[in-house]
Chain A
Amino acid sequence: MPVAELRRVTKRYGAIEALRGIDLRIDRGELLALLGPNGAGKTTAVRILLGLAKADSGTAAVFGCPPASQEAKLRRGALLQVAKVPETLRVREHIELFSSYYPKPLALSETIRAAGLGGVENRLFGDLSGGQKQRVLFALAICGNPDLLFLDEPTVGLDVEARRALWGHIRGFVGRGGSVLLTTHHMEEADALANRVAVINQGRIIAEGTPADIKARTAQTGLEDAFLELLKEDAMEEVA
Protein backbone atom coordinates (compact mmCIF):
# COMPACT_ATOMS: atom_id res chain seq x y z
CA MET A 1 0.00 0.00 0.00
CA PRO A 2 1.38 3.43 -0.89
CA VAL A 3 1.66 5.85 2.05
CA ALA A 4 -0.20 8.53 0.10
CA GLU A 5 -2.04 8.43 -3.18
CA LEU A 6 -4.04 10.56 -5.60
CA ARG A 7 -6.11 8.71 -8.24
CA ARG A 8 -7.61 10.52 -11.22
CA VAL A 9 -8.03 13.63 -9.09
CA THR A 10 -9.52 16.74 -10.62
CA LYS A 11 -9.90 20.13 -9.00
CA ARG A 12 -11.34 23.29 -10.45
CA TYR A 13 -11.30 26.79 -8.97
CA GLY A 14 -13.88 28.77 -10.93
CA ALA A 15 -12.64 28.90 -14.52
CA ILE A 16 -9.22 27.49 -13.63
CA GLU A 17 -8.66 23.76 -13.94
CA ALA A 18 -5.98 23.30 -11.28
CA LEU A 19 -5.79 19.50 -11.58
CA ARG A 20 -6.95 17.59 -14.66
CA GLY A 21 -7.01 14.00 -13.49
CA ILE A 22 -3.69 13.28 -11.83
CA ASP A 23 -2.35 10.03 -10.41
CA LEU A 24 0.38 10.28 -7.83
CA ARG A 25 1.69 7.80 -5.30
CA ILE A 26 4.30 8.02 -2.59
CA ASP A 27 5.78 4.73 -1.41
CA ARG A 28 7.22 3.92 1.97
CA GLY A 29 10.73 5.22 2.53
CA GLU A 30 10.97 7.26 -0.65
CA LEU A 31 11.35 10.97 -1.27
CA LEU A 32 9.19 12.01 -4.20
CA ALA A 33 9.87 15.44 -5.64
CA LEU A 34 6.90 17.09 -7.34
CA LEU A 35 8.21 19.61 -9.85
CA GLY A 36 6.35 22.08 -11.98
CA PRO A 37 6.16 25.74 -12.96
CA ASN A 38 4.11 28.19 -10.88
CA GLY A 39 0.40 27.50 -11.25
CA ALA A 40 0.98 23.93 -12.47
CA GLY A 41 -1.05 22.44 -9.62
CA LYS A 42 1.68 21.44 -7.13
CA THR A 43 0.20 23.32 -4.21
CA THR A 44 -3.33 22.14 -5.03
CA ALA A 45 -2.15 18.51 -5.03
CA VAL A 46 -0.46 19.04 -1.67
CA ARG A 47 -3.51 20.82 -0.24
CA ILE A 48 -5.74 17.90 -1.23
CA LEU A 49 -3.38 15.38 0.38
CA LEU A 50 -3.39 17.53 3.52
CA GLY A 51 -7.17 17.65 3.62
CA LEU A 52 -7.14 21.45 3.19
CA ALA A 53 -9.01 21.22 -0.12
CA LYS A 54 -11.43 18.65 -1.49
CA ALA A 55 -10.99 16.93 -4.84
CA ASP A 56 -13.88 17.50 -7.27
CA SER A 57 -13.55 13.91 -8.49
CA GLY A 58 -11.15 11.00 -8.01
CA THR A 59 -9.83 9.75 -4.70
CA ALA A 60 -7.15 10.88 -2.30
CA ALA A 61 -5.83 8.74 0.54
CA VAL A 62 -3.11 9.02 3.16
CA PHE A 63 -2.27 5.68 4.81
CA GLY A 64 -5.52 4.41 3.30
CA CYS A 65 -7.56 7.05 5.16
CA PRO A 66 -9.23 10.25 3.97
CA PRO A 67 -6.59 13.05 4.04
CA ALA A 68 -8.62 15.19 6.47
CA SER A 69 -9.10 12.32 8.98
CA GLN A 70 -7.40 12.36 12.34
CA GLU A 71 -5.76 8.96 11.51
CA ALA A 72 -4.05 10.55 8.52
CA LYS A 73 -3.13 13.72 10.41
CA LEU A 74 -1.48 11.83 13.26
CA ARG A 75 0.89 10.02 10.90
CA ARG A 76 2.01 12.96 8.80
CA GLY A 77 3.69 16.31 9.25
CA ALA A 78 3.74 19.32 6.97
CA LEU A 79 6.03 22.24 6.27
CA LEU A 80 3.93 24.72 4.32
CA GLN A 81 4.72 28.10 2.87
CA VAL A 82 3.54 30.56 5.48
CA ALA A 83 3.94 34.32 5.28
CA LYS A 84 3.86 34.93 9.02
CA VAL A 85 4.38 32.65 11.99
CA PRO A 86 3.51 34.00 15.47
CA GLU A 87 6.71 35.81 16.40
CA THR A 88 6.30 36.24 20.13
CA LEU A 89 6.54 32.57 21.00
CA ARG A 90 9.85 30.90 21.77
CA VAL A 91 11.14 28.08 19.58
CA ARG A 92 10.66 25.67 22.47
CA GLU A 93 7.05 26.80 23.02
CA HIS A 94 6.17 26.37 19.34
CA ILE A 95 7.57 22.83 19.38
CA GLU A 96 5.94 21.89 22.70
CA LEU A 97 2.56 23.08 21.45
CA PHE A 98 2.70 21.09 18.21
CA SER A 99 4.08 18.06 20.08
CA SER A 100 1.00 18.16 22.32
CA TYR A 101 -1.18 17.42 19.26
CA TYR A 102 0.33 13.93 18.93
CA PRO A 103 0.00 10.94 21.27
CA LYS A 104 3.64 9.84 20.90
CA PRO A 105 5.74 12.85 19.92
CA LEU A 106 9.52 12.92 19.79
CA ALA A 107 11.20 14.18 22.95
CA LEU A 108 11.77 17.94 22.78
CA SER A 109 15.56 17.48 22.80
CA GLU A 110 15.33 15.00 19.94
CA THR A 111 13.20 17.33 17.79
CA ILE A 112 15.59 20.18 18.47
CA ARG A 113 18.54 18.03 17.44
CA ALA A 114 16.84 16.59 14.33
CA ALA A 115 16.03 20.12 13.13
CA GLY A 116 19.38 21.65 14.05
CA LEU A 117 17.94 24.14 16.53
CA GLY A 118 20.33 23.54 19.43
CA GLY A 119 21.22 26.82 21.15
CA VAL A 120 18.24 28.82 19.85
CA GLU A 121 15.40 26.93 21.56
CA ASN A 122 14.75 29.80 23.97
CA ARG A 123 14.77 32.55 21.35
CA LEU A 124 11.56 34.19 20.16
CA PHE A 125 10.60 33.12 16.65
CA GLY A 126 10.71 36.74 15.48
CA ASP A 127 14.39 37.04 16.47
CA LEU A 128 15.55 34.12 14.30
CA SER A 129 17.34 34.19 10.94
CA GLY A 130 15.54 32.98 7.81
CA GLY A 131 17.29 29.62 7.92
CA GLN A 132 16.46 29.12 11.59
CA LYS A 133 12.81 30.00 10.94
CA GLN A 134 12.56 27.33 8.23
CA ARG A 135 14.18 24.84 10.59
CA VAL A 136 11.53 25.64 13.22
CA LEU A 137 8.81 24.91 10.63
CA PHE A 138 10.65 21.67 9.85
CA ALA A 139 10.74 20.88 13.58
CA LEU A 140 6.96 21.41 13.80
CA ALA A 141 6.53 19.01 10.86
CA ILE A 142 8.62 16.23 12.44
CA CYS A 143 7.89 16.68 16.17
CA GLY A 144 4.94 14.25 16.12
CA ASN A 145 7.25 11.49 14.86
CA PRO A 146 5.29 11.15 11.61
CA ASP A 147 5.81 8.50 8.92
CA LEU A 148 5.18 10.95 6.09
CA LEU A 149 6.32 14.53 5.57
CA PHE A 150 4.98 17.15 3.17
CA LEU A 151 7.58 19.79 2.40
CA ASP A 152 6.23 22.63 0.26
CA GLU A 153 9.22 24.60 -1.03
CA PRO A 154 11.07 24.19 2.25
CA THR A 155 14.26 26.03 1.27
CA VAL A 156 12.74 29.04 -0.50
CA GLY A 157 14.71 32.18 0.33
CA LEU A 158 17.49 30.38 2.19
CA ASP A 159 21.19 30.94 1.63
CA VAL A 160 23.35 28.05 0.43
CA GLU A 161 24.54 27.06 3.87
CA ALA A 162 21.06 27.08 5.41
CA ARG A 163 19.68 25.15 2.44
CA ARG A 164 22.38 22.48 2.73
CA ALA A 165 21.75 22.22 6.47
CA LEU A 166 18.04 21.63 5.89
CA TRP A 167 18.85 19.03 3.22
CA GLY A 168 20.88 17.21 5.86
CA HIS A 169 17.90 17.15 8.21
CA ILE A 170 15.54 15.97 5.42
CA ARG A 171 17.99 13.16 4.54
CA GLY A 172 18.11 12.27 8.23
CA PHE A 173 14.32 11.87 8.25
CA VAL A 174 14.33 9.64 5.15
CA GLY A 175 17.28 7.71 6.59
CA ARG A 176 15.13 6.82 9.61
CA GLY A 177 12.54 5.26 7.28
CA GLY A 178 10.27 8.27 6.66
CA SER A 179 8.57 9.10 3.36
CA VAL A 180 8.53 12.62 1.90
CA LEU A 181 6.62 14.56 -0.73
CA LEU A 182 8.77 17.55 -1.64
CA THR A 183 7.73 20.40 -3.92
CA THR A 184 10.48 22.69 -5.05
CA HIS A 185 11.65 25.04 -7.79
CA HIS A 186 15.30 24.13 -7.14
CA MET A 187 16.12 21.35 -9.60
CA GLU A 188 19.44 20.88 -7.85
CA GLU A 189 17.50 20.19 -4.66
CA ALA A 190 15.29 17.58 -6.32
CA ASP A 191 18.35 15.98 -7.90
CA ALA A 192 20.18 15.87 -4.57
CA LEU A 193 17.31 14.53 -2.45
CA ALA A 194 14.74 12.67 -4.55
CA ASN A 195 14.48 8.95 -5.27
CA ARG A 196 11.76 9.75 -7.73
CA VAL A 197 10.55 12.85 -9.54
CA ALA A 198 7.11 13.68 -10.92
CA VAL A 199 6.75 16.64 -13.26
CA ILE A 200 3.39 18.38 -13.28
CA ASN A 201 2.29 20.91 -15.87
CA GLN A 202 -1.12 22.52 -16.33
CA GLY A 203 -2.75 20.11 -13.92
CA ARG A 204 -1.36 16.88 -15.44
CA ILE A 205 1.63 14.69 -14.63
CA ILE A 206 3.78 14.80 -17.76
CA ALA A 207 6.74 12.72 -16.64
CA GLU A 208 7.70 10.46 -13.77
CA GLY A 209 10.82 8.51 -12.86
CA THR A 210 14.15 8.67 -11.08
CA PRO A 211 16.13 11.84 -11.71
CA ALA A 212 18.42 9.72 -13.91
CA ASP A 213 15.42 8.43 -15.94
CA ILE A 214 14.17 11.94 -16.54
CA LYS A 215 17.57 13.14 -17.68
CA ALA A 216 18.04 10.10 -19.94
CA ARG A 217 14.60 10.48 -21.47
CA THR A 218 15.32 14.05 -22.56
CA ALA A 219 19.01 13.45 -23.34
CA GLN A 220 20.04 16.18 -20.90
CA THR A 221 22.82 16.10 -18.33
CA GLY A 222 21.17 18.36 -15.78
CA LEU A 223 17.72 17.96 -14.23
CA GLU A 224 16.94 21.62 -14.84
CA ASP A 225 17.55 21.30 -18.61
CA ALA A 226 15.56 18.06 -18.64
CA PHE A 227 12.70 19.83 -16.85
CA LEU A 228 12.66 22.68 -19.38
CA GLU A 229 12.78 20.20 -22.26
CA LEU A 230 9.76 18.35 -20.85
CA LEU A 231 7.76 21.57 -20.52
CA LYS A 232 8.66 22.48 -24.11
CA GLU A 233 7.54 19.07 -25.40
CA ASP A 234 4.32 19.37 -23.44
CA ALA A 235 3.59 22.79 -24.88
CA MET A 236 4.12 21.46 -28.41
CA GLU A 237 1.79 18.51 -27.81
CA GLU A 238 -0.79 20.93 -26.47
CA VAL A 239 -0.68 22.89 -29.76
CA ALA A 240 -0.80 19.70 -31.89
Chain B
Amino acid sequence: MTHVYWMEAKCEFLKLLRMRVYSLSTVLFPLMFYCFFGLAMGRSPQPGAAMPMARYLLATYGAFAVVGATLYAFGIGIAVERGLGWLQVKRASPMPPAAYLVAKGAVSLAFGAIVVTLLFTLGAAFGGVRMPLGQWLALGGTLIAGAVPFCALGLAIGNFAGPNSAPATVNMIYMPMAFCAGLWIPLQFLPSVMRQAAPFLPTYHFAQLALGVLHAPVQGTIMEHVGALAAFTMIFAGIAWIGDSREQEKVYG
Protein backbone atom coordinates (compact mmCIF):
# COMPACT_ATOMS: atom_id res chain seq x y z
CA MET B 1 0.00 0.00 0.00
CA THR B 2 2.92 2.34 0.66
CA HIS B 3 3.84 1.72 -2.96
CA VAL B 4 0.81 3.78 -4.06
CA TYR B 5 1.92 6.75 -1.96
CA TRP B 6 5.44 6.54 -3.35
CA MET B 7 4.19 6.34 -6.95
CA GLU B 8 1.76 9.21 -6.43
CA ALA B 9 4.50 11.41 -4.92
CA LYS B 10 7.01 10.46 -7.62
CA CYS B 11 4.57 11.32 -10.42
CA GLU B 12 3.56 14.55 -8.70
CA PHE B 13 7.21 15.55 -8.38
CA LEU B 14 8.06 14.75 -12.02
CA LYS B 15 4.91 16.49 -13.21
CA LEU B 16 5.77 19.75 -11.42
CA LEU B 17 9.48 19.58 -12.17
CA ARG B 18 8.77 19.38 -15.90
CA MET B 19 6.19 22.17 -15.70
CA ARG B 20 8.54 25.09 -16.27
CA VAL B 21 6.10 27.72 -15.11
CA TYR B 22 6.05 25.97 -11.73
CA SER B 23 9.65 24.92 -11.30
CA LEU B 24 11.07 28.22 -12.54
CA SER B 25 8.77 30.55 -10.64
CA THR B 26 9.09 28.49 -7.47
CA VAL B 27 12.87 28.35 -7.58
CA LEU B 28 13.96 31.47 -9.41
CA PHE B 29 11.78 34.16 -7.82
CA PRO B 30 12.97 33.68 -4.24
CA LEU B 31 16.59 33.27 -5.35
CA MET B 32 16.39 36.40 -7.48
CA PHE B 33 14.82 38.46 -4.68
CA TYR B 34 17.41 37.22 -2.25
CA CYS B 35 20.17 38.26 -4.66
CA PHE B 36 18.69 41.77 -4.96
CA PHE B 37 17.80 42.46 -1.36
CA GLY B 38 20.03 40.07 0.56
CA LEU B 39 23.21 40.10 -1.48
CA ALA B 40 23.36 43.23 -3.67
CA MET B 41 21.89 45.65 -1.12
CA GLY B 42 22.77 43.73 2.00
CA ARG B 43 26.52 44.30 1.74
CA SER B 44 26.53 47.57 3.62
CA PRO B 45 25.10 47.27 7.14
CA GLN B 46 21.65 48.84 7.44
CA PRO B 47 21.16 51.40 10.20
CA GLY B 48 19.11 49.81 12.94
CA ALA B 49 19.61 46.29 11.65
CA ALA B 50 20.66 43.70 14.23
CA MET B 51 22.57 41.51 11.82
CA PRO B 52 23.78 41.55 8.20
CA MET B 53 20.92 41.51 5.72
CA ALA B 54 22.34 38.47 3.94
CA ARG B 55 21.85 36.49 7.14
CA TYR B 56 18.54 37.97 8.28
CA LEU B 57 16.91 37.61 4.87
CA LEU B 58 18.01 34.00 4.58
CA ALA B 59 15.24 33.20 7.06
CA THR B 60 12.58 35.43 5.50
CA TYR B 61 13.28 34.52 1.86
CA GLY B 62 13.46 30.89 2.93
CA ALA B 63 9.94 31.30 4.31
CA PHE B 64 8.89 33.16 1.16
CA ALA B 65 10.20 30.32 -1.02
CA VAL B 66 8.53 27.57 0.98
CA VAL B 67 5.18 29.37 1.03
CA GLY B 68 5.39 29.90 -2.75
CA ALA B 69 6.30 26.30 -3.55
CA THR B 70 3.39 25.10 -1.41
CA LEU B 71 0.72 27.54 -2.57
CA TYR B 72 1.52 27.00 -6.25
CA ALA B 73 1.56 23.21 -5.94
CA PHE B 74 -1.59 23.01 -3.84
CA GLY B 75 -3.62 26.06 -4.77
CA ILE B 76 -3.09 26.11 -8.51
CA GLY B 77 -2.56 22.35 -8.86
CA ILE B 78 -5.79 21.41 -7.15
CA ALA B 79 -7.87 24.19 -8.73
CA VAL B 80 -6.78 23.06 -12.20
CA GLU B 81 -7.12 19.32 -11.61
CA ARG B 82 -10.46 19.72 -9.86
CA GLY B 83 -11.88 22.28 -12.26
CA LEU B 84 -10.90 20.49 -15.44
CA GLY B 85 -12.04 17.01 -14.49
CA TRP B 86 -8.82 15.17 -13.65
CA LEU B 87 -9.68 14.81 -9.97
CA GLN B 88 -12.93 13.07 -10.98
CA VAL B 89 -10.95 10.42 -12.82
CA LYS B 90 -8.76 9.93 -9.75
CA ARG B 91 -11.78 9.76 -7.43
CA ALA B 92 -13.47 7.16 -9.61
CA SER B 93 -10.31 5.03 -9.42
CA PRO B 94 -9.29 2.97 -6.36
CA MET B 95 -6.59 5.51 -5.44
CA PRO B 96 -6.63 5.93 -1.62
CA PRO B 97 -8.15 9.43 -1.24
CA ALA B 98 -5.37 10.51 1.12
CA ALA B 99 -2.66 9.61 -1.42
CA TYR B 100 -3.53 12.61 -3.56
CA LEU B 101 -3.07 15.11 -0.73
CA VAL B 102 -0.15 13.35 0.93
CA ALA B 103 1.71 13.34 -2.41
CA LYS B 104 1.05 17.04 -2.99
CA GLY B 105 2.19 17.81 0.56
CA ALA B 106 5.35 15.70 0.29
CA VAL B 107 6.24 17.27 -3.04
CA SER B 108 5.64 20.81 -1.73
CA LEU B 109 8.05 20.04 1.11
CA ALA B 110 10.55 18.57 -1.36
CA PHE B 111 10.46 21.67 -3.57
CA GLY B 112 10.70 23.81 -0.45
CA ALA B 113 13.79 21.85 0.60
CA ILE B 114 15.39 22.31 -2.82
CA VAL B 115 14.90 26.09 -2.85
CA VAL B 116 16.03 26.43 0.75
CA THR B 117 19.20 24.47 -0.04
CA LEU B 118 19.92 26.73 -3.02
CA LEU B 119 19.28 29.85 -0.92
CA PHE B 120 21.63 28.59 1.80
CA THR B 121 24.29 27.94 -0.85
CA LEU B 122 23.91 31.49 -2.17
CA GLY B 123 24.02 32.94 1.32
CA ALA B 124 27.11 30.99 2.31
CA ALA B 125 28.97 31.48 -0.97
CA PHE B 126 28.17 35.12 -1.74
CA GLY B 127 26.61 36.60 1.39
CA GLY B 128 29.34 35.54 3.81
CA VAL B 129 26.80 33.82 6.08
CA ARG B 130 28.54 31.58 8.59
CA MET B 131 26.91 29.54 11.34
CA PRO B 132 27.34 26.19 13.09
CA LEU B 133 26.04 23.16 11.21
CA GLY B 134 23.36 22.60 13.86
CA GLN B 135 21.95 26.06 13.25
CA TRP B 136 21.88 25.58 9.46
CA LEU B 137 19.96 22.34 9.98
CA ALA B 138 17.59 23.91 12.54
CA LEU B 139 16.84 26.77 10.17
CA GLY B 140 16.33 24.41 7.22
CA GLY B 141 14.09 22.12 9.28
CA THR B 142 11.98 25.02 10.56
CA LEU B 143 11.56 26.40 7.05
CA ILE B 144 10.54 23.07 5.55
CA ALA B 145 8.14 22.19 8.40
CA GLY B 146 6.60 25.65 8.04
CA ALA B 147 5.05 24.48 4.77
CA VAL B 148 2.30 22.61 6.64
CA PRO B 149 -0.14 25.50 7.33
CA PHE B 150 0.33 26.67 3.74
CA CYS B 151 -0.58 23.21 2.44
CA ALA B 152 -3.92 23.75 4.18
CA LEU B 153 -4.22 27.30 2.79
CA GLY B 154 -3.38 26.03 -0.71
CA LEU B 155 -6.00 23.31 -0.36
CA ALA B 156 -8.59 25.90 0.66
CA ILE B 157 -7.72 28.10 -2.34
CA GLY B 158 -7.67 25.08 -4.65
CA ASN B 159 -11.13 23.99 -3.51
CA PHE B 160 -12.65 27.40 -4.13
CA ALA B 161 -10.77 29.02 -7.03
CA GLY B 162 -11.63 28.32 -10.66
CA PRO B 163 -9.02 26.65 -12.86
CA ASN B 164 -8.32 29.82 -14.81
CA SER B 165 -8.40 32.32 -11.97
CA ALA B 166 -6.35 30.22 -9.55
CA PRO B 167 -2.88 31.63 -10.47
CA ALA B 168 -4.14 35.20 -9.99
CA THR B 169 -5.92 34.26 -6.76
CA VAL B 170 -2.80 32.62 -5.37
CA ASN B 171 -0.62 35.62 -6.20
CA MET B 172 -3.17 38.04 -4.75
CA ILE B 173 -2.94 36.18 -1.47
CA TYR B 174 0.73 35.15 -1.55
CA MET B 175 2.44 38.42 -2.44
CA PRO B 176 0.69 40.80 0.02
CA MET B 177 0.86 38.13 2.73
CA ALA B 178 4.62 37.85 2.17
CA PHE B 179 5.31 41.58 1.98
CA CYS B 180 3.19 42.60 4.99
CA ALA B 181 4.79 39.94 7.20
CA GLY B 182 8.28 41.25 6.48
CA LEU B 183 9.37 38.45 4.18
CA TRP B 184 10.75 40.79 1.53
CA ILE B 185 12.18 43.55 3.69
CA PRO B 186 12.44 43.33 7.48
CA LEU B 187 9.34 44.22 9.44
CA GLN B 188 10.97 47.19 11.19
CA PHE B 189 11.28 49.02 7.86
CA LEU B 190 7.54 48.70 7.18
CA PRO B 191 4.94 51.37 8.10
CA SER B 192 3.53 50.91 11.58
CA VAL B 193 0.03 50.01 10.22
CA MET B 194 1.54 46.98 8.52
CA ARG B 195 3.57 46.07 11.58
CA GLN B 196 0.40 46.01 13.67
CA ALA B 197 -1.51 43.97 11.10
CA ALA B 198 1.29 41.41 10.63
CA PRO B 199 0.30 39.12 13.56
CA PHE B 200 -2.94 38.37 11.72
CA LEU B 201 -0.94 36.71 8.93
CA PRO B 202 0.35 33.12 9.10
CA THR B 203 3.47 34.23 7.23
CA TYR B 204 4.39 36.52 10.12
CA HIS B 205 4.42 33.68 12.66
CA PHE B 206 6.36 31.47 10.25
CA ALA B 207 9.01 34.17 9.71
CA GLN B 208 9.29 34.87 13.46
CA LEU B 209 9.99 31.18 14.09
CA ALA B 210 12.69 31.09 11.40
CA LEU B 211 14.25 34.34 12.65
CA GLY B 212 14.25 32.94 16.17
CA VAL B 213 16.56 30.16 15.02
CA LEU B 214 19.00 32.87 13.86
CA HIS B 215 18.73 34.62 17.25
CA ALA B 216 17.39 37.71 15.51
CA PRO B 217 15.21 39.89 17.73
CA VAL B 218 11.68 38.45 17.51
CA GLN B 219 8.34 39.17 19.09
CA GLY B 220 6.50 36.54 21.10
CA THR B 221 7.57 33.06 22.11
CA ILE B 222 8.08 29.95 20.03
CA MET B 223 4.99 28.35 21.54
CA GLU B 224 2.83 31.35 20.68
CA HIS B 225 3.91 31.23 17.04
CA VAL B 226 3.51 27.46 16.77
CA GLY B 227 0.08 27.78 18.37
CA ALA B 228 -0.93 30.53 15.96
CA LEU B 229 0.21 28.45 12.99
CA ALA B 230 -1.71 25.42 14.29
CA ALA B 231 -4.83 27.59 14.58
CA PHE B 232 -4.36 28.91 11.03
CA THR B 233 -3.95 25.32 9.81
CA MET B 234 -7.26 24.31 11.40
CA ILE B 235 -9.08 27.32 9.97
CA PHE B 236 -7.72 26.76 6.45
CA ALA B 237 -8.48 23.03 6.63
CA GLY B 238 -12.03 23.87 7.71
CA ILE B 239 -12.46 26.27 4.79
CA ALA B 240 -11.02 23.62 2.45
CA TRP B 241 -13.49 21.07 3.78
CA ILE B 242 -16.42 23.44 3.17
CA GLY B 243 -15.20 23.99 -0.39
CA ASP B 244 -14.91 20.27 -0.97
CA SER B 245 -18.40 19.42 0.30
CA ARG B 246 -19.86 22.21 -1.80
CA GLU B 247 -18.07 20.72 -4.81
CA GLN B 248 -19.59 17.25 -4.34
CA GLU B 249 -23.03 18.54 -5.23
CA LYS B 250 -22.13 20.22 -8.49
CA VAL B 251 -23.40 18.96 -11.82
CA TYR B 252 -20.96 17.96 -14.52
CA GLY B 253 -21.91 17.69 -18.18
Which residues does chain A contribute within 8 Å of B80, judged by CB atoms?
A: 84
Chain A 83-107 interface residues, beta-carbon cutoff 8 Å to B = 83-86, 88-89, 93-94, 96-98, 100-102
Which residues does chain A contribute within 8 Å of B3, judged by CB atoms?
A: 100
Which residues does chain A contribute within 8 Å of B85, judged by CB atoms?
A: 80-84
Determine if B11 and A97 form an interchain contact, defined as CB atoms under 8 angstroms apart: yes
Chain A 48-84 interface residues, beta-carbon cutoff 8 Å to B = 50-53, 70, 73-74, 77-78, 80-84
Determine if A43 and B252 form an interchain contact, defined as CB atoms under 8 angstroms apart: yes
Which residues does chain B contribute within 8 Å of A137, judged by CB atoms?
A: 89
Which residues does chain A contribute within 8 Å of B19, judged by CB atoms?
A: 88
Report B36 CB to chain A, min CB distance, Å. Answer: 30
Report A51 CB to chain B, min CB distance, Å. Answer: 7
Q: Provided the pairs A43-B252, A44-B251, A88-B15 are in contact, do residues A82 and B92 lie with their beta carbons within 8 angstroms?
A: no
What does DSSP make chain B's interface, helix, strand, loop or mixed?
helix
Which residues does chain B contribute within 8 Å of A102, judged by CB atoms?
A: 94
Which residues does chain A contribute within 8 Å of B253, judged by CB atoms?
A: 42-43, 81, 152
Which residues does chain B contribute within 8 Å of A74, judged by CB atoms?
A: 94
Which residues does chain A contribute within 8 Å of B219, judged by CB atoms?
A: none
Asked if B44 lies at the interface with its beta carbon under 8 angstroms from chain A, I say no
Number of interface residues of A (CB under 8 A): 39
Which residues does chain A contribute within 8 Å of B244, judged by CB atoms?
A: none
Asked if B14 lies at the interface with its beta carbon under 8 angstroms from chain A, I say yes
Identify B7's interface contact among A42, A43, A53, A96, CB under 8 A: A96
How many Å lie between the Cα of A140 and that of B252 in the bound state? 21
What does DSSP make chain A's interface, helix, strand, loop or mixed?
mixed
Identify B92's interface contact among A73, A85, A93, A124, CB under 8 A: A73
Which residues does chain B contribute within 8 Å of A52, judged by CB atoms?
A: 88, 91-92
How many Å lie between the Cα of A93 and that of B15 in the bound state? 10
Asked if B4 lies at the interface with its beta carbon under 8 angstroms from chain A, I say yes
Determine if B86 and A86 form an interchain contact, defined as CB atoms under 8 angstroms apart: yes
Determine if B81 and A100 form an interchain contact, defined as CB atoms under 8 angstroms apart: no
Identify B84's interface contact among A53, A82, A89, CB under 8 A: A82
Name the CB-closest residue of B to A98: B93
Contacts between the two chains (Cβ within 8 Å), count: 84
Determine if B92 and A89 form an interchain contact, defined as CB atoms under 8 angstroms apart: no
Asked if A16 lies at the interface with its beta carbon under 8 angstroms from chain B, I say yes
* B-contact 0/1 string along A137-150, CB 8 Å cutoff: 10010001000001
How many Å lie between the Cα of A88 and that of B95 in the bound state? 20
Determine if B251 and A93 form an interchain contact, defined as CB atoms under 8 angstroms apart: no
How many Å lie between the Cα of A89 and that of B86 in the bound state? 13
Which residues does chain A contribute within 8 Å of B248, judged by CB atoms?
A: 53
Q: Provided the pairs A97-B7, A100-B7 are in contact, do residues A18 and B251 lie with their beta carbons within 8 angstroms?
A: yes
Which residues does chain A contribute within 8 Å of B95, judged by CB atoms?
A: 101
* A-contact 0/1 string along B58-84, CB 8 Å cutoff: 000000000000000000000011001
Determine if A80 and B92 form an interchain contact, defined as CB atoms under 8 angstroms apart: yes
Determine if A144 and B15 form an interchain contact, defined as CB atoms under 8 angstroms apart: no
Name the CB-closest residue of A to B17: A88
Report A133 CB to chain B, min CB distance, Å. Answer: 13
Which residues does chain A contribute within 8 Å of B93, judged by CB atoms?
A: 73, 77-78, 98, 101, 140, 144
Report A186 CB to chain B, min CB distance, Å. Answer: 16
Report B207 CB to chain A, min CB distance, Å. Answer: 32
| Interface hub of B14, B16, B252, B253 (most chain A Cβ within 10 A) | B253
Determine if A93 and B11 form an interchain contact, defined as CB atoms under 8 angstroms apart: yes
Determine if B15 and A86 form an interchain contact, defined as CB atoms under 8 angstroms apart: yes
Determine if A89 and B14 form an interchain contact, defined as CB atoms under 8 angstroms apart: yes
What are 20 A-B residue pairs whose CB atoms fall within 8 Å in the complex?
A: A13-B251, A44-B251, A52-B91, A53-B248, A78-B89, A78-B93, A80-B88, A82-B84, A84-B84, A84-B163, A85-B89, A86-B15, A88-B17, A88-B19, A89-B18, A101-B94, A102-B94, A124-B18, A137-B89, A140-B93
Q: Given A88-B18, A96-B7, A101-B4, 5 more contacts at CB 8 Å? A: A13-B249, A50-B92, A53-B248, A84-B81, A102-B94
